[in-house]
Structure 1
Amino acid sequence: MMIGELFDPQAPLAISEHYRPHWSQAGAIVFITFRTADSIPYEVLQRWEREKNEWIARNTGRNADWRKVLPELDPRLRHQFKKTFNRLREDFLDTCNGKCVLRQPDFASIVADSLSHFDGKRYRLGDFIVMPNHVHLLASFPSEETMIGQCDSWLHYTAWKINQQLGNKGKFWQQEPFDHLVRSPEQYQYLCNYIRDNGTKANLRSGDFLYRQHDNHQ
């Protein structure tokens, strides 16, 4: 059983250009990724920016910032662009750069407990995994506002709690999570499998990540 509805392109949709999750729809299942602030070095992010612009130039003949061109692309090309660079990001995260604080079970549990705390009250939580430097989860929310507010709450609370225990101050998470609205049962199952297999795919030992499966899988 799925934890919510599939994305409906005909239904009302909230889109924010300045705050993630960028796309949100009441009741729709969303795949969300949080990453720690040190998980991707600045020089890697800069290289990806160059590669995105080069991809746009190569595939469209336009020498322009990819952010301006992407919304105007044919859906097939737009999907190809996103798939290419989403894969780059996910593969790099799985190399476990940065301090990887969440490798420690006590800190991973802070994140897991925060995600589960209001499950069934403010949102419906699906499968999730806490990796050494990032988190993947599936969830559905009753409204667009609830979704944005809850993501902000998760990030602020867990950062405060972990920094408190580490004796640190400053930024813990990269503030804007990545999000994707689920569009089909097949995609939902693919993402469940992706979350389940993420630790193994990254060649981690069982104690280096924390995986929880939603109770109502078929």
Structure 2
Amino acid sequence: MEVEPRFLDPHAEVAQHTNRLPHWQQDEATYFVTFRLADSVPTELLKRWEQEREAWMRWNPEPWSPKQEREYRERFSMRMEHWLDAGHGECLLRQPPLALIVGNALQHFDGVRYNQHAWVVMPNHVHALFSARGETKLPVIVKSWKGFTAWEINRHFDRTTPLWQKDYRDRIVRNARHFLNCARYIRNNPLEASLKTAEYLHYESQAVRTLLEAEG
């Protein structure tokens, strides 16, 4: 039985912590998360982008207006997404057995720690749309995915180098429209990147599939 996603509650407490990127959390919230392979963006380029983003955020502290959110997405999120979709780096996850390791990890605690709504494993990054369950925190969920898959994939190649970027990007889903936009983005991402069927792995729940098909 699928569970209805819970969206951002503007009246409830929002916990915030910062690694390289800021992360906002609410109990049992629905999140859109992106994490990428360590070699997908050159270090110097990433450093320059982060400096630009930090300067912008000093002038635009959260919470943002819809206009500020659009500007942030256009200036920073979309730039990163276009770069990733161009297929930079080794793109290990283009190999179906390795993509399957990630896909199995994403599904492993579905219905226990979280409810998965949709995800896609791209050649050098992953998008996931899910709702946390109970007291399970967002960092715990993402750490378990990245930690297990790094161990499995590095074991496959007999190496110990970092597989994933240390941090990840996340947004609390605001409402039903935002939820549908995230699910649609996940579905369309392989098409936008001109990938063949064997070059990615995609999942969406029956509820998400029904909603997207109803939208046309």
Give unpaired runs (5+ residues) of structure 2: 211-216
* 1:110 CA displacement: 0.3
Q: Distance in 1 between matches of 2:152 and 2:88?
A: 22
8 Å CA contact 1:3–1:125 kept in 2: the answer is no
**TM-score, normalisation: structure 2:** 0.87
Which residue of 2 is the match for residue 17 of structure 1? Answer: 18
Which of residues 55, 65, 74 in structure 2 aligns to 1:75?
A: 65
Name the stretch that deviates more: 2-11 or 66-75.
66-75
Which residue of 2 is the match for residue 156 of structure 1? Answer: 147
Percent of matched pairs sharing the same residue: 36
**May I ask how many residue pairs the two structures share in their alignment?**
207
**TM-score, normalisation: structure 1:** 0.86
8 Å CA contact 1:21–1:148 kept in 2: the answer is no
Q: Distance in 2 between matches of 1:100 and 1:115?
A: 19
* 1:137 CA displacement: 0.6
User: What amino acid is the match of 2:60?
Assistant: L
Give unpaired runs (5+ residues) of structure 1: 54-64
Which of residues 106, 114, 130 in structure 1 aligns to 2:97?
A: 106
8 Å CA contact 2:3–2:115 kept in 1: the answer is no
Which residue of 2 is the match for residue 195 of structure 1? Answer: 186
Structure 1 residues 71 and 203: CA distance shift in structure 2, 3 A? same
Mapping for residues 1-218 of structure 1, pairs under 5 Å: 3-18=4-19, 22-49=23-50, 51-52=52-53, 65-71=55-61, 75-76=65-66, 78-84=68-74, 85-143=76-134, 145-217=136-208, 218=210
Q: Distance in 1 between matches of 2:56 and 2:129?
A: 28
User: What amino acid is the match of 2:172?
Assistant: L
Secondary structure, counterpart of 2:130 in structure 1? strand
* RMSD of Structure 2 on Structure 1 (CA): 2.2
Which residue of 1 is the match for residue 213 of structure 2? Answer: none
Secondary structure, counterpart of 1:23 in structure 2? strand
